[in-house]
Structures are given as C-alpha cells and as structure tokens.
A and B are shown apart, each in its own frame.
Chain A
C-alpha cells in the first residue's frame, strides 16, 4: 500500500480494488454519469421490507387480495405498485398455526428484492445457507423463533427463478387496527420466516 511514498491511502485493500476497477471502467467510458449514486439511492430508500409489509397488511384485511396473492404472487404484488428485478416470479407461502415457512438460497443469495429490498448480510453468509436446509428446527430456535412443538416446517430453497415471500399470521388482538397500523407490525424477519409475529 502506497509503496511509492506519497499520498498514503486510508483505504482498505478491498476499497483499493473497488477504486481501481471503478477508475478503469470510468476511463473507458463504461460507467454512466451518476449511475452509481442513482442505483444506490434506489436500494437505500425506495426498495425495502416496508413494501412487503404493505402486501402482508393488505392480505390480512382483504380476503380477495389474499386469495390472489397466494394464487398469483407477482400480479397481486404489482397491484400495490411493487415489482421488477428479482420479483418477476413470486410465490407467497402462508404460515398457519400448523405450518411454518422459511426462505433461503443455498447456492447464492436469491431474495425477493421488490418486496424485501437487498438481503441482509447474515442471509448471504455461509452459516444460514448451510444450516437452514439441514437443521431448521434447531436454527430457528437458536434465532429466537418460537414454533408450536409439532408445527410442520417448510423450507424453500430459491434455486431457480421463483422468489418467495412468507405471509406471516396476523397477530391476535389486532382486530381494531387500520391497514397502515398493521403494516407497522410486519417485520422483515417475519417475511423471511425467521421470526413469528
């Protein structure tokens, strides 16, 4: 690092590699002006689990919507204005008292971006990907997800084109709440299936 003795860079090796590739591609005219900031802004502010929470809340209050969501996920999600890359083919899986669903991608990190945003680091790291298909009951308990003792666990490995969203159960005692209030109860983890509400 800075072997030539001037401008000692306060950058880590990986940051230096990113800067090197960025500079070379920019010099060749391949990086459109403003592209990096624009794509970053979209994933920081427009796309995230708040979108999925609106889908879940709508399904809780509107039985017709819930039927459409479970039958044709992407089309029902598009009714609320969400869609795009990694959300073209959506399957929504419903939790019940007897069935708990959880999503994983063992081969890489496939995740339903339009409704959940970019995946968290732990979803992409080896422990989650290795263990969720082998010992989900133990791993869910370890992650603080309490299941009824005899609940069936359904793990969905996103290995082809479908992306999954878990429809969590509506919590008891929420009968008087508005759709917007209900959306506020829905966590990212409950839509991955590593938590129950």
Chain B
C-alpha cells in the first residue's frame, strides 16, 4: 500500500534528533510492548510481512505522532484482535479509554502464490528497471524507486516474497538483488557522487 510508512525522500521533516547513545528502553513500557508483540506474533504465527503490514496500516496521523514502540504496541493489539485473542472492546475497557488499532487490510487474501523462482534472472552489472505499480497490500518495494532504472550490484539469497506472505498462508520464493541507483536519477536534482542501493525481490524488477 502507498502508506505513510514509505518515507524515503519525503520532505519537510527537519533535523534528525540524533543522540550518540541511549538506553535500549528509555521507558519500561517500551520493553513490555516489544515483548508483547513477540508473544502475539508467535502465538498467531504471523509472518514478517504480516507483522510489518500491521504497522503500515496505522492511521497516518497516529503513525507520525507516535514513537516506534507505540507502533509495536498498536501492531500487537491489532494482530491480537484480528486473530481473535482479545477483542477491541476488552482492550478499551481495560485501558480505560481509546485504544486505536491499525486500519483494515485493503488487499484480498492471496490464494495462489504462483510458482517459486529458483534461479536469479539478473546478475551483477545487469541494468534493471523497477516496476511502476501500486499494490494495495504489503510490499517491500519503496515508492521512491518505482519506475526507476538501476544496476544490480549483488544477487542475494532466495527468500519468501513479503507481498505474498503478508496476506495468507501461501508462499512464493524468489531471488533478491541489491540494485544501485544514481541519486541524481531518483531525485532529478543534479547531485553527484551519491548512490542509493535498494534490496528488491525478483518480481519487482523488469528489463529496462
């Protein structure tokens, strides 16, 4: 989905609130939220794709104004409700107030994942173009490279396609590649000597 999480290249955010070191969990509730997501994801056997998509479906205003572990809390509660471990009304009654969950899945379940891809179609040095498409479900293809041409720098392993695994029990496996893009091609701003590498599944790519 073209969700708020797909942040690469968005403008207007201002400075990075950098600090050189900090505790793993500045607040105790963050550690608990993190552990609870592990509990829920383990109980319902959520794939990595389903977990990430449960965060991506957060209402955009909530996403941008809440911290990382509030995202995890929202994901844990959303998956717990969607898989029938708890109900939304139970959560709100126990919390004594609103308990915002992520929005509904917009994509239909994937029934037929299609055949696995066993051999890489591309190798280092090959020029490729990223498909220009807007799937309503989960994808790991960032919006900022869609339709853009780049060069493969590495063929990595063969992995489960997140777009499939996020939407049901079906799985498809494909090679992944690291693709190098000239930043000037991505942003059209004439910057020089800057290259952005994005790791992409086989089906995200086509020959230019």
- From A189, which residue of chain B is reached at the shortest CB distance? B20
Please give the distance in Å from B147's CB to the nearest CB on chain A: 16
Q: Which residues of A contact B33 (CB under 8 A)?
A: 18
Q: Which of B36-44, B110-118, B121-129 lies at the interface?
A: B36-44
Decide: A24 near B196, CB < 8 A? Known: A108-B52, A130-B13, A134-B9: no
Complex formed: what's the CA distance from A19 to B85 in Å? 16
Whether A79 sits at the interface, judged by CB under 8 Å, is no
Whether A13 sits at the interface, judged by CB under 8 Å, is yes
Complex formed: what's the CA distance from A143 to B17 in Å? 9
Q: Is B16 touching A16 in the complex (CB atoms < 8 A)? A: no
Q: Is A155 touching B73 in the complex (CB atoms < 8 A)? A: no
Partner of B85, one of A25, A35, A188: A25
Count contacts on B: residues with CB < 8 A to the other chain.
77
Count contacts on A: residues with CB < 8 A to the other chain.
71
Please give the distance in Å from B67's CB to the nearest CB on chain A: 7
Whether A172 sits at the interface, judged by CB under 8 Å, is no
Partner of B154, one of A25, A91, A129: A91
- Contact residues of B: prevailing secondary structure: mixed
Whether B91 sits at the interface, judged by CB under 8 Å, is yes
Q: Which residues of B contact A136 (CB under 8 A)?
A: 183, 194
Complex formed: what's the CA distance from A139 to B90 in Å? 45
Please give the distance in Å from A19's CB to the nearest CB on chain B: 7
Partner of A130, one of B7, B187, B197: B7
Q: From residue 85 to 102 of chain B, which have CB atoms closer than 8 A to chain A?
A: 85-86, 90-91, 94-99
Q: From residue 8 to 33 of chain B, which have CB atoms closer than 8 A to chain A?
A: 8-11, 13-27, 29, 31-33
Decide: A17 near B14, CB < 8 A? Known: A157-B197, A158-B199: no
Q: Is B176 touching A157 in the complex (CB atoms < 8 A)? A: no
Q: Is A153 touching B195 in the complex (CB atoms < 8 A)? A: yes
Complex formed: what's the CA distance from A18 to B87 in Å? 15
Complex formed: what's the CA distance from A13 to B36 in Å? 17
Interface string of A148-173 (1 = CB under 8 A from B): 00111111111111100000000000
Q: From residue 24 to 67 of chain B, which have CB atoms closer than 8 A to chain A?
A: 24-27, 29, 31-36, 38-40, 43, 52, 55, 64, 66-67
- From A158, which residue of chain B is reached at the shortest CB distance? B199
- From B67, which residue of chain A is reached at the shortest CB distance? A121
Decide: A127 near B24, CB < 8 A? Known: A21-B91, A91-B154: no
Q: Is A14 touching B73 in the complex (CB atoms < 8 A)? A: yes
Q: Is B17 touching A127 in the complex (CB atoms < 8 A)? A: yes
Q: Is B32 touching A18 in the complex (CB atoms < 8 A)? A: yes
Please give the distance in Å from A128's CB to the nearest CB on chain B: 5
Q: Is A30 touching B85 in the complex (CB atoms < 8 A)? A: yes
Q: Is A39 touching B34 in the complex (CB atoms < 8 A)? A: yes
Complex formed: what's the CA distance from A16 to B70 in Å? 12
Q: Which residues of B does A touch, CB under 8 Å?
A: 5-11, 13-27, 29, 31-36, 38-40, 43, 52, 55, 64, 66-68, 70, 73, 76-77, 80, 85-86, 90-91, 94-99, 140-142, 144, 154, 156-157, 159, 176, 178, 183, 186-187, 191, 193-201
Q: Which residues of A does B touch, CB under 8 Å?
A: 1-3, 9, 13-25, 28, 30-31, 35-36, 39-40, 43-44, 48, 89, 91, 106-109, 117-118, 120-122, 124-131, 133-137, 139, 142-143, 150-162, 187-189, 194
